[in-house]
Amino acid sequence: MTARTPLPNPGVQFPPPILYALGFGIAWLLDDGVRALPFPAIGPVAAKIIGLVVAIAGMYVTISGIAAFRRVMTAIFPNQPANELVTDGPYRFTRNPMYTGFTLVYIGAAFIMNSMWPLVVLPVVLGLLFVLVIRREEAYLSDAFGEQYAAYRRRVRRWL
């Protein structure tokens, strides 16, 4: 049996927020071209207020995740190696605070747009995020940090 070469980085060659932007763009086209699908139980003003609150919360979560990486000066982009496993700040509650934050911003934007189409598309976005990004990141972190990452995974959920 030959020794396996450790992964140099997660191997994600695109910025993950692109998945959210593409999903939202498709939803926007569906809303504009197929037929509008507003939130039926709330009016447009209430939808905008809810959306703004959710989007601001998402920005806070995302920025907190980025700040935790910056504090220890480890790579934020998933095509670069991590020099430290971050487990403090928002990483105490979720292994993916940046993606959780992006998801909240996306949901908030759906409310601001007053359209359910983005929410219809969101499971596809999250499925692609898992397959194309999160699985690769988790494999890399398992390889790079071994038991330390395994213990972290047992302690902290992927999402909230």
pLDDT (tens digit per residue) in 93-115: 999 999 999 999 999 999 998 88
pTM of the model: 0.90
| CA–CA–CA angle 7, 132, 119 (5° rounding) | 150
The stretch 122-143 carries a mean pLDDT of 96
- The candidate with the shortest Cα–Cα distance to 26, out of 100, 143, 103, 117, is 117
pLDDT band at 89 (very low <50, low <70, confident <90, very high): very high
State the burial class of residue 156 (Cβ atoms within 10 Å of its Cβ: 0-12, 13-18, 19+).
Answer: middle
Q: Give Cβ neighbours of residue 13 (< 8 Å, ≥ 6 apart).
A: 79
pLDDT band at 159 (very low <50, low <70, confident <90, very high): confident
CA distances from 94 to 8, 39, 99, 113, 141 (A): 24, 29, 10, 28, 15
pLDDT band at 61 (very low <50, low <70, confident <90, very high): very high
What pLDDT digit, counting tens, does each position of 1-22 carry? 555 666 788 888 899 999 999 9
Q: Which residue has the higher pLDDT, 48 or 31?
A: 48
Asked whether residue 151 carries a pLDDT value surpassing 90, the answer given is yes
Contact 13, 79 (CB under 8 A): yes
DSSP track, 110-135 = HHHHT-SHHHHHHHHHHHHHIIIIIH
So what's the pLDDT on residue 135? 94
Asked whether residue 55 carries a pLDDT value surpassing 90, the answer given is yes
